[in-house]
Structure 1
Amino acid sequence: MLMGATVPELDQRVITGLLTTRLAHTKGRRLVLVHGKYVVGGPQEFTVPAGEGERRKVRVAHTTSVLGITDAWQAHLSTEGSDLLVVTTDVSGDRISLDLVGEMVRSQIIAVDEADIVKQLFGAADLDPRMRRDPWLWLPSALIAAEPDGGWPQRGAVLTLDAAMRALVGVRLGLEGVFEGEASVDVDALLAWSRTPGGPQRFAALPEAEQQGIAEWLAQNAGEAAPVLLRLALNGRGTEATALGVLASVMNGGAASAEAAVALGSVFGMGSRPSELRAYARAVEGTLIRWIGEATGRGAQSEEARQRVLDVLRQADQLAAEAHLSAALADNPFLPSGFQARLRRLAETLAQEPQAAQTAWEHVREHHLAAVLYAKRIELARMAVRLKHWLDAPKPVVSSVDQAVHAHVADWGWVDRALAQLWVGDADAEPVLVHAYRTVHDAARQRRATLDEAFAAELEPWAQHASTAQPSGTLLIEDVLEKIAVKLAAKRPPLVLVLDGMSSAVAAQLGEELTGAGRWSELSGDGRRAAAVAMIPSVTVVNRATLLCGRPVSGGQSVEKEGFVDFWKQHRRAAALFHKSEIAGPAGQLLDQRLVEAIASDAVVGVVLNTIDDSLDHGQQGSLTDWSVNRVKYLTELLNSARGQGRPVVLVSDHGHVLDRTRPDAGPVTAEGVESARWRTGTAAGEGEVALSGPRVLENSGRVIAPWSEEIRYTPRKAGYRGGAALAEMTVPVLVLTPSIDLAPDGWAELPRESVQPPWWEAQVAPASLKTRTTTKPARKAPPAKPKARPQEGERLADDAVETPPTRPAPVEPLPPVTLGRQVVETKLYEHQGKFVRKVPDRKVVAAVIDALDASGGTLSLAAVAGAAVASGGRTNTRPEGFVTVLTRLLNIEGYEVISLIDSRTRVRLNRDTLREQFELPRENA
């Protein structure tokens, strides 16, 4: 026997590898003696590669004696068909007879060199030397045993340890292709593997040395998290591995308690080090963030990712409860229970200052499931906080009809938008949150009711004499075409889209969506969104005809068509008006061909869209609370057609509406002379009503009674109503949209998005960065000398340094605030950058724009940036895009994006941190 040598167990793969490396040296010999023991049950006959596509037949036998070797050889000689005989044995070579030695390949018993076999299997000339030393001695035999049916990929001259381990891990764990080539080895792939059927079981079935080696290699390449994951797999918890990683987050941060650590140890086992658990938690969080990113899109893949995320996090919540870790994980940014905890905190702050509620809402929004699962709940919470800000603002007043309708379009209609959504509520909200929402809703609703009452008081005397001849400075609905559409037609005939029943709340949402996408700009002749006053009562038959005919008139579609054409004929223009039945095209064509041709012509085109008004009568409760462009039938297609033809668009209502928000058991109000849900005839107005008369009243011989209170209706319940005297019904919002600013009438300008939204709508937590730092100006002798020089590089202004003159102290005057913009333009780097830019704007202009962006949270529309530049003395004839281009050349040092255009180049973003870094400004807390 081979003294002192361990007899290795050999199988077909080892024999095949051994022969493949030695067949070239057989020199016609057909007997191969190999030191070892052939595995029991292995195939006795098979073929092996012989080069150039040929194969040789092999027969394998095992024996423990010289006589057995001789018998096997004689039997082989008498057997036809076999080419080579391989005998595995533990007999020593000095006992073999000379006649057998003469038949043996290499004339000796061959010892198996697994490294040589591995080289052959991978087509390599050599191996990484580490594979021949501890702790990697197990690797060659593992590679031989794990060879896939198609063979190992060929690795070139040298098989590196990393390439060998990538190949082995891929096959052993069922991750073929994942770790191939130069692909990064990360826990993301391992977590996905842990959830595959049978994946963890494959690892558990490996020999212990191989398990340990794979774990150590993954720890080196994928981080400390990998061994934790593999231990979970060995313990039968592979399918819970991702969820358990969320629990491990209790170890992150300084707030981890001893009790939580003990509870976590019982889950993972006491063998896991705290550093490993922290690394594992971070790795799982990174994976979950990627999964959530995949889940935010649309389609089957996004839905699959969304379901995967939810399954894992619901499982994590359950495991946390079982391990008594729910309290420690109450603020976790992934768990559904953590989201509920943040909402409970929001509910508490809604009874406090608005800033506390704002901070709490932003904390809710930062939950990682906010976008993928809770988008509507997040938006609803935001509406509550917005109303909180509005309630904290100075109490609004009504001074005139004109002031009220403009305030309603600019501010109170946005309140209505928030109120409508808050009225519908959150079906999944806990009682404490429901109560908080109701409290905010009722307070805002009460304030809105006082405004409606005050408006009705102004409307009553105003209606008695208001007309086109005497509008009292108010835009009347009959003058919308004359004062807006006619001016647009001077450059390009507009498309007039009448959204029947569109309230200011709906207009606010539609305008926000249309201008936010960057495809449309909103125009204005006086720096604000247009608002007109409806005829009385505020119903379709009166107001739509009046709008389209350009004069007070009541009538149906025939009156509207004829009046629209006649109005534009007076302005020497052809016109066409299309109603509901004339919009849809035949099969295969969305829009009627006549409508398509009209929009392509030079005629003024009007289209009436009834979606909103129809929903008042037939919609369900809540169906009118949230409007997007695609919910208004044909609106998207008509806007696209107008854009394709280069037409401006007048998006206008004929009247607004109020929603039904009465109690479920509340019935109609009993009254005399009921003509509609929201107006009646009669002799006297009751509580919540106003009597209106005059030239603007086209029903009942010029006198009607209409409710200003939204609580009153005279007919059975519907989703919403029109016809009353509330601001939401009487205000006619007008949005003027253009695909190109070049279509703006003379004297008109683009409305920045920031000027359309009320300031409380996008309120933010006031960051420390917005607090301006002031300095004390050194006192001087009178009279003052030359202006103070700008600080040189390396100098700084002392906050409290005061120069004391030799005579009596002079009055101390504060310097202007040292804002972020001023700090930037006073640096040497800014001065240096200006040498490479043509027509550098004045420093105060650049500083003002930086400060405007800073104060807005980092983003502004192009129009708002241009407005900030002009307000600080910039040139009025500079195009916003050109001005921003100059800013990028001034501020984007070495290509770092301090200033950039986003949202299809319609908004400007300031990266505040990069700005401070590039211009070497001190840190904010320094």
Structure 2
Amino acid sequence: MAGGLWRGGHHQFHRRRGAVLMALRPLIDRRIVEALLETELRRAADCRLLLVNARYDSTAPTEFTARIDGRPQPVRVTDQDSVLGIVAAWQELLDGAETELLLVVTSDVPAAVLGWDVRAHAVGRRILSVDRAEIVKQLFGAADLDPRMIRETWLLTALLEAEPVDGWPRSGSVLTRDDAVRALVGERLGLGRGSAGHLLELDTNALLAWSRTTAGPARFRELPGAERDGLTTWLTDTVGAAAPTLLSLVADGRGQDAMALGVLGSVLSAPEAPAGTSFALGGLFGSSLRSVEDLPKFTASVIGTLARWIAEAEVSTPAGAEARQRVYSVLDRADALASEAGLGQALRVDPLLPSGFRARLRDLAAALPDSSKAAEAALDQVLAHQLARLHPASCEAARMAVRVVRWLDGPAPTAESVGQAVHEQFAQWGWADRALCVLAAGDPMGDPVVGQAYHLLIGSARARRSTLDEQFAARLAGWTRTASSQAPGGALLIEDVLETLALPMASGTSPLLLVLDGMSAAIAAQLGDEIDRRIWTEIAPAPQAATPPRRHAAVSMLPSVTTISRASLLSGMPTNGKQAAEISGFEIFWKRHRRVGRLFHKGQIGGAEGHRLAPEMLEALAGDDIVAVVLNTIDDALDHGQEGERTSWRLRDISHLLDLLNAARGYGRPVMLVSDHGHVLDRSPHGQGPLKAPGAQSARWRTGEAGEGEVELSGPRVREGGGTIVAPWREDIRYTPRKAGYHGGAALAEVTVPVIMLVPSQELMPSGWVVLPNEQTVPAWWRAGSDVAPAPAETEKPTARRPRRRAEEQAGEALFAAGEVTPATLTLGGKVVGSQRYKTQRKFVRRPPDGKAVVAVIDALAEAGGKLTPDAVAAAAAEATGRSQRNAEVFVTVVQRLLNIEGYGVINLVDAGRTVELNIPLLQEQFGTEQP
């Protein structure tokens, strides 16, 4: 059996006894004995004696049952140092009653001394020697072994000791060192096995996660030193340079804190770390840090793994929640260790620790009273923190706080007229209401310092809003006495919305009118932001004067309650009534215009089980009738207290809204989103009851004489109280028990009726209407980078609202007319279009756009920081040339062919086509221009 699993006694043995001979014999245990029996008894099934040149582990059992070829077999092991002892043990076995008992004798007695009379009964008729490499090969079912393993005693011994109950995995004809150690790591460290048919996959992420467990690190600490060193070396080569420091921490019993220490190590060793904090590293890591050079590699791995966990934690799933728990268990521990080491103050601005995030929020709170610039800088620091991704609500509140500061930093707005004030409520002030609604809920992290800063900011903003409401109420009182469709006083009346806006939309194809009961300007602004601009294009009537197009807002009937305003909206005339009156009025209005109108209310919209919409609804949408649908979600939320808990409204929050929008798109219908009135939220202090006043008819209107915070309204538009009512303009006044919100009063948020008009294709845009880019619906102070809000347009006289002489128009005169213009007057767009490179490129583009349009596009993108929506790009070109671009995406594609010389991405469509991005440095390089 030369070269076999067990080699005969061909070695030279010394006859000396004692320690020297003991050292020569390999130490074996029960597992090796079982492997011996499993292999050798197949060749000598009738033998009951096994002689082994080895010594048996004194701590191992001497009698046990082994499974040989699947059958239980009793085994006795004895260690003998003389011929007499071996013979006596064998004779004892023969004299015993157990005929199935197998005897294994470990000894150093040479075969020649033992004699043939005993050896004749032994397996193989000889004394077997132990070859660990051959055993390992057999255990893995391999024909050959990686030669490097034969020299690594620690590895062979460990593989023998750690063999799992169901055996080692079969890895092919040749057992490589990598496969063997990988299998050993899985068993020794408690990492388990890979998937079926595959070995364990290891990376830094898996090893760091393992370090935070209990059983695995404990197993590693109990391993012999040689095996720990061997596994560390292999893991360093396989996983990366983070392994030495990590395993050193584990060996020192600090595995649970390894990742937390890695976070602190990253912070304290950073160049921007406070002076002197680097000395804290020694105390934190102690003797676990073998080399200073190892630290950056370890900390980089920890930070990288945490970044992956943070990304996983952003998802609202059980797996995301588990990842979030992992992230915070590490980072909270890092904060605790820093505090114990007296480093809390030094790490307050750290970009990863929770304490750093809280500190940045407090810095923002401190900056809010200073200026919008200081607040924006502090907000940038909050959003740059890595944990900002896990606190979207806190970040949203911080953004809203800065937006409110920008609004307050601007010139104080005024309500000059009812029409102007209602328009500005939708265009500007309602956005402030939207921000204040988020801020009113407070910071979700509950920091009292941040909460107090928000409270003070809300107070300042509400004072401005209250002033506007008071001014508006005074204008409303005078306007209401004579206002009518024949004399609207510059305002769009709710009863004229169908005539003014819906009727032109119906000139090409039948629109879908969605009446969102109770939708305020603030909610309309949120829903408008939610609209997918790749699917829907917002449109508006072309303005009469040289002003940008704008969204429209109407004035509700008075009091601003559903039974008056909604009936008037749907009937196209001032009226009162409930659903029957609305249906009749809607049908009559469209009959006057030779069309059929169909109105659907709550209960007629949803379909049966398995259907999103009712068959009657789908039938109406598929036809040519004008269809209107009343959606009550917002008003119901106010009535039942749900609005008080939410800080935002999304399209999916309105029952059936997304289904109806999808259906309208499918049937090629334009859509109008319109309200019947707005609302105010409950602002009354906790415990304050309703105002005790005579003549209370509803939550927000009554009869009698006006008091503080109220206004008397009378005239043809007042449809209750005999034509005269008292309505509060202050938001904290109510006459009925508490609810989440109210309507019927004289505040701007209640009287303003927002309107948003959409088409699924620009081909459906009515004649004389234009695209309304999203950028033109958002106030300047809402966008990041705006220092202050612009002066409100309502304070300017109509004759003064002339567009400034655009630089691109001046450039156009020089480029496309006979006049001469000095280079100093050229904008970036003008310089590009005036360059020789552009003129050459233009020759290769079929039907290139007008040069003025290209100038306007480049300058608009440059002014916006390099990004705009396709609609905004097309609108800039249309404004410069006076010609509308019917298809924004096609226009952008043509501009791309002009500017993207040799395929370089000067201008690109990104975000799945939702954004046009201009690479300004590349543009300057390609066309040889300089920064204007």
TM-score tier (shorter): 0.7 to 0.9
Aligned match for 1:177, one of 181, 193, 205: 193
Name the residue aligned to 1:773: none
State whether residues 358 and 765 of structure 1, in contact with CA within 8 Å, keep that contact through their aligned partners in structure 2: no
Rounded Cα–Cα distance in structure 2 between residues aligned with 1:839 and 1:110: 93
Aligned match for 1:146, one of 142, 149, 162: 162
2:363 is the alignment partner of 1:345: yes
Q: 1:916 to 1:150 in 2, by over 3 A?
A: farther
- Note the C-alpha offset of 1:297: 1.9
2:834 is the alignment partner of 1:814: no
Tell me the alpha carbon deviations over residues 129-184 of structure 1, each in whole angstroms, 9 at most, x when there is no partner.
43344xx4421221222222333233335433332222211111111235996876
Name the residue aligned to 2:28: 10
Letter paired with 1:471: P
Rounded Cα–Cα distance in structure 2 between residues aligned with 1:118 and 1:833: 73
2:914 is the alignment partner of 1:906: yes
Name the residue aligned to 2:483: 466
Name the residue aligned to 1:163: 179
2:754 is the alignment partner of 1:730: no
Name the residue aligned to 1:315: 333
Rounded Cα–Cα distance in structure 1 between residues aligned with 2:662 and 2:420: 34
Aligned match for 1:706, one of 719, 722, 727: 727
Aligned match for 2:625, one of 597, 603, 612: 603
* Secondary structure at the counterpart of residue 881 of structure 1: helix
- Note the C-alpha offset of 1:544: 0.9
State whether residues 62 and 76 of structure 2, in contact with CA within 8 Å, keep that contact through their aligned partners in structure 1: no
Q: 1:300 to 1:432 in 2, by over 3 A?
A: closer
Tell me the alpha carbon deviations over residues 452-504 of structure 1, each in whole angstroms, 9 at most, x when there is no partner.
33334443444344332333443221111122222222333222221222110
Rounded Cα–Cα distance in structure 2 between residues aligned with 1:350 and 1:692: 39
Name the residue aligned to 1:864: 872
Q: 1:458 to 1:257 in 2, by over 3 A?
A: closer
Q: 1:427 to 1:121 in 2, by over 3 A?
A: closer
Q: 1:918 to 1:195 in 2, by over 3 A?
A: farther
State whether residues 350 and 385 of structure 1, in contact with CA within 8 Å, keep that contact through their aligned partners in structure 2: yes
Rounded Cα–Cα distance in structure 2 between residues aligned with 1:557 and 1:370: 48
Rounded Cα–Cα distance in structure 1 between residues aligned with 2:260 and 2:592: 72
Structure 1: tracts of 5 or more residues without a match:
767-784, 788-810
State whether residues 542 and 698 of structure 1, in contact with CA within 8 Å, keep that contact through their aligned partners in structure 2: yes
Name the residue aligned to 1:41: 61
Tell me the alpha carbon deviations over residues 852-901 of structure 1, each in whole angstroms, 9 at most, x when there is no partner.
55654554323123334555669854633334556777888999988665
Q: Which moved more, 1:674-683 or 1:17-26?
A: 17-26
Structure 2: tracts of 5 or more residues without a match:
1-11, 15-19, 543-548, 788-813
Q: 1:22 to 1:615 in 2, by over 3 A?
A: closer
- Note the C-alpha offset of 1:254: 1.5
Rounded Cα–Cα distance in structure 1 between residues aligned with 2:309 and 2:31: 41
Rounded Cα–Cα distance in structure 2 between residues aligned with 1:472 and 1:758: 25
Rounded Cα–Cα distance in structure 2 between residues aligned with 1:457 and 1:223: 73
- Note the C-alpha offset of 1:201: 1.3
Rounded Cα–Cα distance in structure 1 between residues aligned with 2:61 and 2:640: 78
Name the residue aligned to 2:464: 447
Rounded Cα–Cα distance in structure 2 between residues aligned with 1:161 and 1:258: 47
* Secondary structure at the counterpart of residue 64 of structure 1: coil
- Note the C-alpha offset of 1:210: 0.9
- Note the C-alpha offset of 1:533: 1.6
Q: 1:465 to 1:44 in 2, by over 3 A?
A: closer
Q: 1:786 to 1:840 in 2, by over 3 A?
A: closer
- Note the C-alpha offset of 1:621: 7.5
Q: Which moved more, 1:894-903 or 1:341-350?
A: 894-903
Rounded Cα–Cα distance in structure 2 between residues aligned with 1:895 and 1:14: 69
Aligned match for 1:881, one of 881, 884, 889: 889
Name the residue aligned to 1:211: 228
Rounded Cα–Cα distance in structure 2 between residues aligned with 1:410 and 1:428: 31
* Secondary structure at the counterpart of residue 478 of structure 1: helix
Q: 1:812 to 1:480 in 2, by over 3 A?
A: closer
Q: Which moved more, 1:34-43 or 1:432-441?
A: 34-43
Rounded Cα–Cα distance in structure 1 between residues aligned with 2:235 and 2:851: 56
Letter paired with 2:342: H
- Note the C-alpha offset of 1:818: 5.5
User: Identity rate of aligned residues, in percent?
Assistant: 51
* Secondary structure at the counterpart of residue 760 of structure 1: helix
- Note the C-alpha offset of 1:837: 7.7
Rounded Cα–Cα distance in structure 1 between residues aligned with 2:282 and 2:611: 65
Name the residue aligned to 2:591: 569
- Note the C-alpha offset of 1:531: 1.1
Name the residue aligned to 1:697: 718
Q: CA RMSD in A?
A: 4.4
Q: Which moved more, 1:699-708 or 1:104-113?
A: 104-113
Rounded Cα–Cα distance in structure 2 between residues aligned with 1:26 and 1:824: 96
State whether residues 140 and 170 of structure 2, in contact with CA within 8 Å, keep that contact through their aligned partners in structure 1: yes
Name the residue aligned to 2:798: none
2:637 is the alignment partner of 1:612: no
Name the residue aligned to 2:115: 97
Q: Which moved more, 1:335-344 or 1:744-753?
A: 744-753
- Note the C-alpha offset of 1:338: 2.1
Aligned match for 2:563, one of 541, 547, 551: 541
2:197 is the alignment partner of 1:189: no
* Secondary structure at the counterpart of residue 389 of structure 2: coil
Q: 1:708 to 1:863 in 2, by over 3 A?
A: same
Within-5 A mapping of 1:414-493: 414-426=431-443, 428-493=445-510
* Secondary structure at the counterpart of residue 254 of structure 1: coil
Name the residue aligned to 2:676: 654
Rounded Cα–Cα distance in structure 2 between residues aligned with 1:601 and 1:595: 10
Within-5 A mapping of 1:248-397: 248-257=265-274, 260-272=277-289, 273-372=291-390, 374-397=391-414
Q: 1:922 to 1:481 in 2, by over 3 A?
A: closer
Q: Which moved more, 1:587-596 or 1:565-574?
A: 587-596
Rounded Cα–Cα distance in structure 2 between residues aligned with 1:713 and 1:384: 28
Rounded Cα–Cα distance in structure 1 between residues aligned with 2:860 and 2:13: 87
- Note the C-alpha offset of 1:654: 0.9
Letter paired with 1:163: D
Rounded Cα–Cα distance in structure 1 between residues aligned with 2:302 and 2:143: 40
Q: 1:548 to 1:814 in 2, by over 3 A?
A: same
Name the residue aligned to 1:751: 772
- Note the C-alpha offset of 1:425: 2.5
Q: Which moved more, 1:491-500 or 1:560-569?
A: 491-500
TM-score, length of structure 1 as denominator length: 0.82
Tell me the alpha carbon deviations over residues 793-845 of structure 1, each in whole angstroms, 9 at most, x when there is no partner.
xxxxxxxxxxxxxxxxxx996364568x97899798x9999999876768886
- Note the C-alpha offset of 1:323: 2.9
TM-score, length of structure 2 as denominator length: 0.82
Rounded Cα–Cα distance in structure 1 between residues aligned with 2:846 and 2:682: 60
Within-5 A mapping of 1:462-861: 462-515=479-532, 518-526=534-542, 527-583=549-605, 591-619=613-641, 622-623=644-645, 625-664=647-686, 668=690, 673-682=695-704, 688-764=709-785, 814=824, 816=826, 849=857, 852-853=860-861, 855-856=863-864, 859-861=867-869
* Secondary structure at the counterpart of residue 445 of structure 1: helix
Q: 1:587 to 1:116 in 2, by over 3 A?
A: closer
Q: 1:403 to 1:838 in 2, by over 3 A?
A: same
Letter paired with 2:267: V
Rounded Cα–Cα distance in structure 1 between residues aligned with 2:834 and 2:220: 62
Q: Which moved more, 1:727-736 or 1:295-304?
A: 295-304
Q: 1:844 to 1:263 in 2, by over 3 A?
A: farther
Name the residue aligned to 2:792: none
Rounded Cα–Cα distance in structure 2 between residues aligned with 1:211 and 1:818: 65
* Secondary structure at the counterpart of residue 537 of structure 1: coil
Tell me the alpha carbon deviations over residues 76-129 of structure 1, each in whole angstroms, 9 at most, x when there is no partner.
899998799764322345534366677877886544332333333334444444
2:418 is the alignment partner of 1:401: yes
- Note the C-alpha offset of 1:732: 0.7
